[in-house]
Amino acid sequence: MTEYDYDLFTIGAGSGGVRASRFAAQLGARVAVAEDRDLGGTCVNVGCVPKKLLSYAAHYHGDFEDAAGFGWSVPPAEFDWPTLIANKDREIARLNGVYEEILGDAGVTLLRGRATVLDAHTVAIGDQQISARHILVATGGRPTKPDLPGIEHAITSDEAFHLAALPRRVLIYGGGYIAVEFASIFAGLGVEVTLVYRGAQILRGFDSDLGATLAAEMVRNGVAIRLQTQLQGIVRDAAGLTVSLDDGTELTVDSVLAATGRSPNTVGLGLEAAGVGLDQRGAVRVAADYRSNIPSILAIGDVIDRVQLTPVALAEGVYVAELLFGAGRAPINYENIATAVFSHPNVGTVGLSEAQALARGAVRIFRSRFRALRHTLSGRDEQTLMKIVVDAASDRVLGVHMVGPDAGEIIQGFAVALQCGATKAQFDATIGIHPTSAEEFVTMRTPVTP
């Protein structure tokens, strides 16, 4: 039998790669993982974690305003961006150390450098060639910018986490997760924000009530939203960055953030030369068991272009480790994956949107809009939206959607209910927790008339 240097060689120590490597090692495999940047990948370094820390920072703005109604007099608050970034960087450095420890404790060899694939069982790192029974590509993705004149002046979310100073005016281009999250963060930190989106409503693909409600709340929070508008060019001049839009107007800002999607990281990896099939976006084509057309080369996470979410990459990592070195496990169920958008207010969602459910059959819709108890004293006019989509024939709950504080925290629990196939009658039989916003999900009784 061929003796390989390793049983598994993972390229990329992000969420998926670290999880697969660690589990494989714990199952007795000899594992190496290569990483040429910080450990933890997008999520830890330029994604979920720092984004949420910045989002917390931005929330204080509203909290200080809200405090007056509860009897507090708060002196004019001042915000210092370098302090926030330094503290955030310290936490990210700590997490990098934790990742290194996790790998070391599991017995995974960490190789610092850029690895490329040479053939079905060989990778190169520096001038070293290493053989492996299995190669796992877990290189993630990176932000992409649209091709337009002056786009080199625009930053992406990667750079937004490391700006030396907080800009006074920001234009955000896009209407997806990253666009609305950064629009909310910057607006909360006192920046003048304009969000420009080419479509008719932000958060395309989500239940349409979510996009509409979030847009209204963002506008209330001071974000200017320009829909059905595209950027034509960016010019740097004495006033800052002058951005021309396709409606003939111009805007001058200090920073343009392109939040127009992400691409799989496969450039320069040697995959095509090794014969691995990629799709037209450069994502590794994989079968249901994450094997590429070369069975010893597998891929998981953002590089396969399925669902770009950390918990999904983690699940795929565990699946692959079990498949290769354990007893195997049931395929991942990609239905009913709950997700949150950490905009202000948050969006939380699981299951089908109203439109997706309608395409499958008749539905009953339950919807509630209200002002949360806290705002009866804060005076804030923020609306919370909750919505349940029910299959009319079976009474099964197909979708649960929310815009409002802590929507992500609330929807996580309802994701379990959907995973269990809960019916609306079971929602109704559940006693609420009073006074919460979440109780509304078990007290809505009258369907909205279509």
Residues marked as catalytic: 434
Q: Tell which one of 107, 199, 222, 447 touches ligand NDP (CB under 6 A).
A: 199
Encoded tokens for 307: 């669902």
Angle value at C-alpha 292, between 27 and 294, nearest 5 degrees:
90
How many beta carbons lie within 10 A of that of residue 315, not counting itself? 20
Q: Are 188 and 344 in contact (CB under 8 A)?
A: yes
Residue 35: exposed, middle, or buried by beta-carbon count in 10 A (0-12, 13-18, 19+)? buried
Binding to ligand NDP by CB under 6 A, coded x per residue (else -) over 168-187, reads ------xxxxxx-x------
Nearer to ligand NDP, 214 or 341 (CB): 341
For the bound state, the minimum distance from the C-beta of residue 259 to ligand NDP, rounded and expressed in Å, comes to 5
In whole angstroms, give the CA distance from residue 344 to residue 47: 17
Kindly calculate the radius of gyration of the chain based on its CA atoms and give it in whole angstroms.
24
For the bound state, the minimum distance from the C-beta of residue 202 to ligand NDP, rounded and expressed in Å, comes to 7
Nearer to ligand NDP, 24 or 309 (CB): 309
Residues binding ligand NDP: number (CB under 6 A): 22
Nearer to ligand NDP, 313 or 438 (CB): 313
Nearer to ligand NDP, 198 or 367 (CB): 198
Q: Tell which one of 341, 385, 388, 403 touches ligand NDP (CB under 6 A).
A: 341
Q: Is 98 helix (H, G, I), strand (E, B) or coil?
A: helix
Nearer to ligand NDP, 146 or 233 (CB): 146
Nearer to ligand NDP, 146 or 447 (CB): 146
Binding to ligand NDP by CB under 6 A, coded x per residue (else -) over 92-131, reads ----------------------------------------
Q: Letter for the amino acid at 135?
A: I
For the bound state, the minimum distance from the C-beta of residue 287 to ligand NDP, rounded and expressed in Å, comes to 22
Angle value at C-alpha 82, between 171 and 242, nearest 5 degrees:
20
Encoded tokens for 11: 């390229």
Q: Are 10 and 307 in contact (CB under 8 A)?
A: no
Nearer to ligand NDP, 29 or 411 (CB): 411
- For 33-161, where are the alpha helices, taking DSSP H only? 41-46, 48-67, 81-106, 157-160
For the bound state, the minimum distance from the C-beta of residue 294 to ligand NDP, rounded and expressed in Å, comes to 27
Q: Are 51 and 28 in contact (CB under 8 A)?
A: no
Q: Cα–Cα distances in Å, from 101 out to 9, 40, 46?
A: 18, 12, 20
Binding to ligand NDP by CB under 6 A, coded x per residue (else -) over 251-290, reads --------xxxx----------------------------
Q: Is 441 helix (H, G, I), strand (E, B) or coil?
A: helix
Angle value at C-alpha 107, between 102 and 110, nearest 5 degrees:
75
Helix H or strand E segment including 299: strand 297-299
Which residue is closest to ligand NDP by CB? 176
For the bound state, the minimum distance from the C-beta of residue 424 to ligand NDP, rounded and expressed in Å, comes to 27
Q: Is 229 in the site for ligand NDP (CB under 6 A)?
A: no
For the bound state, the minimum distance from the C-beta of residue 201 to ligand NDP, rounded and expressed in Å, comes to 9
Nearer to ligand NDP, 103 or 195 (CB): 195
Q: Are 60 and 78 in contact (CB under 8 A)?
A: no
In whole angstroms, give the CA distance from residue 208 to residue 186: 24
Binding to ligand NDP by CB under 6 A, coded x per residue (else -) over 137-156, reads ---------x----------
For the bound state, the minimum distance from the C-beta of residue 408 to ligand NDP, rounded and expressed in Å, comes to 8
Q: Are 224 and 370 in contact (CB under 8 A)?
A: no
Q: Are 309 and 341 in contact (CB under 8 A)?
A: no
Q: Which 203-222 positions form the footprint of ligand NDP (CB under 6 A)?
A: 204
Adjacent-strand bridge partners of 10: 33, 136
For the bound state, the minimum distance from the C-beta of residue 334 to ligand NDP, rounded and expressed in Å, comes to 13
In whole angstroms, give the CA distance from residue 283 to residue 264: 5
In whole angstroms, give the CA distance from residue 371 to residue 378: 11
For the bound state, the minimum distance from the C-beta of residue 173 to ligand NDP, rounded and expressed in Å, comes to 6
Q: Tell which one of 131, 201, 242, 339 touches ligand NDP (CB under 6 A).
A: 339
Binding to ligand NDP by CB under 6 A, coded x per residue (else -) over 307-336, reads -xx---------------------------
Nearer to ligand NDP, 292 or 346 (CB): 346
Of 74-82, 114-122, 198-206, 209-217, the window that binds ligand NDP (rule: CB under 6 A) is 198-206
DSSP E strands, 175-215: 192-196
**Site for ligand NDP, rule CB under 6 A:** 146, 174-179, 181, 197-199, 204, 259-262, 308-309, 339-342
